[in-house]
């Protein structure tokens, strides 16, 4: 991930600084702020959609609306409304809002493309593609009667969409990682954060397989699906170790940017909470619905935190390299 500011913002000279300041404010800063806020808002809404989707699943409300995209043939099924129907209906409502907001994000990034980094319109195009696929999979989960592979792909695509929005918002962040001074961040830290994010994502997919096939219940009751359940349990190990490695590396590296250390700390707290909640859901056989919902929501938050860490780490490394090149070029200029 490239540095969202230095990769496309030219450095004005002292002679034309005053003349270009108003142009930068009107044509550059405002679109960036707009896109960043929209992307972050959609990411938060997507996290809520996934949490509501988890609640829909654990409450056996996935087929509470037997048709799609309407519910009982209407936009608002007032006469059929109960808790299960409300969960499915509200899940679709928020998901539709996310879809329309993504179209706005896509349109705005292409409209202001001359004032934005070149990669941004293509990144929002990718996000729009993901949300379209997500919508199609959402419809198929109903029409195909909650087929486990479609349900798993639905969550997996949602997590990718969520991660892409956070990556965009983080890359456009106005936070100055080094304030002109090189932190000398090793690129290994960024790759470590990305690796941890990938492992958490894969672990989330395994968790989706467990949930969509009710593997925990079947394993305890009839010894079926124990392979799926055990794969998820074993997957905790590499994801947890990688996240802890991010935390330890961030804290022993005294030159790292403070924001990266804070993100690593949050990731560490989230992975501890996730393991504890997961253990609780396992011991209680998924009988406590809020605990199961919290397990999925915490996992999504952990993935998002690691994505933000990786993006900022790559950006900090790029800034570090630019500062070092600038310092090396100073003697030649003099």
Question: pTM of the full predicted structure?
Answer: 0.86
Last residue of a domain, one of 174, 194, 211: 174
Last residue of a domain, one of 174, 204, 228: 174
Domain count, the chain: 2
- Extract the tokens encoding 282: 């396992």
Full pLDDT tens readout for the chain, 334 residues: 444 433 334 334 333 433 444 444 444 458 899 999 999 999 999 999 999 999 998 888 999 999 999 999 999 999 999 999 999 999 999 999 999 999 999 999 999 999 899 999 999 999 999 999 999 999 999 999 899 999 999 999 999 999 999 999 999 986 655 554 445 567 889 999 999 999 999 999 999 999 888 888 888 888 888 999 999 999 999 999 999 999 999 999 887 888 999 999 999 999 999 999 999 998 888 778 899 999 999 999 999 999 999 999 998 877 766 655 655 666 555 5
Domain of residue 255, CATH code: 1.20.120
Bridge partner residues of 91 (DSSP): none
30-58 vs 83-111: helix crossing angle, rounded to 10: 160
Instruction: Find out whether 292 and 54 touch, Cβ atoms under 8 Å.
Output: yes
Which segments of the chain does DSSP mark as H helices, in order? 17-24, 30-58, 83-111, 119-143, 148-171, 187-212, 215-222, 226-252, 258-283, 289-333
Q: Report how far residue 48's alpha carbon sits from residue 44's, in angstroms, rounded to the nearest whole number.
A: 6
Q: Report how far residue 72's alpha carbon sits from residue 323's, in angstroms, rounded to the nearest whole number.
A: 61
12 and 143 assigned to the same domain: yes
Residue 258 sits in which domain range? 180-334
132 and 152 assigned to the same domain: yes
Bridge partner residues of 74 (DSSP): 71
Q: Report how far residue 54's alpha carbon sits from residue 40's, in angstroms, rounded to the nearest whole number.
A: 21
Q: What is the dihedral of CA 111, 116, 119, 120, to 10 degrees?
A: -60
Q: Give burial (CB, 10 Å; 0-12/13-18/19+) of 274.
A: buried
Triad 99, 101, 106: Cα angle to 5°:
95
Last residue of a domain, one of 112, 142, 174: 174
Triad 267, 237, 186: Cα angle to 5°:
50
109 and 162 assigned to the same domain: yes
């Amino acid at each position: 991930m490239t540095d969202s500011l230095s990769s496309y913002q030219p450095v004005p000279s002292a002679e034309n600084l005053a003349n270009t300041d108003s142009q930068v404010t009107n044509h550059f800063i405002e679109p960036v702020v707009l896109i960043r806020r929209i992307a972050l808002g959609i990411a938060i809404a997507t996290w809520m959609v996934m949490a509501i989707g988890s609640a829909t699943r654990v409450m056996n409300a996935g087929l509470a609306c037997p048709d799609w995209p309407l519910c009982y043939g209407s936009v608002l099924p007032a006469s059929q409304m109960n808790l299960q129907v409300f969960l499915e209906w509200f899940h679709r409502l928020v998901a539709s809002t996310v879809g329309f907001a993504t179209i706005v994000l896509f349109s705005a990034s292409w409209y202001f493309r001359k004032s934005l980094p070149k990669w941004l319109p293509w990144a929002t195009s990718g996000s729009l593609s993901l949300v379209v696929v997500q919508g199609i999979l959402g419809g198929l989960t109903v029409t195909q009667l909650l087929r486990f592979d479609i349900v798993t792909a639905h969550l997996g695509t949602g997590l990718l969409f969520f991660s892409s929005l956070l990556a965009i918002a983080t890359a456009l962040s106005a936070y100055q990682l080094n304030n002109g001074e090189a932190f000398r961040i090793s690129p290994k830290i960024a790759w470590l954060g990305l690796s941890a994010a990938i492992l958490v994502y894969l672990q989330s997919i395994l968790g989706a397989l467990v949930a969509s096939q009710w593997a925990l219940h079947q394993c305890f009751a009839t010894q079926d699906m124990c392979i799926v359940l055990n794969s998820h349990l074993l997957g905790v190990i590499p994801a947890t170790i990688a996240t802890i490695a991010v935390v330890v590396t961030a804290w022993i590296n005294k030159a790292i940017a403070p924001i990266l250390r804070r993100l690593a700390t949050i990731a560490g707290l989230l992975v501890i909470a996730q393991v504890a909640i997961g253990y609780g859901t396992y011991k209680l056989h998924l009988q406590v619905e809020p605990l199961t919902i919290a397990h999925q929501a915490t996992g999504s938050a952990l993935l998002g935190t690691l994505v933000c860490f990786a993006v900022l780490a790559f950006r900090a490394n790029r800034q570090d390299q630019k500062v070092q090149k600038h310092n090396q070029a100073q003697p030649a200029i003099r």
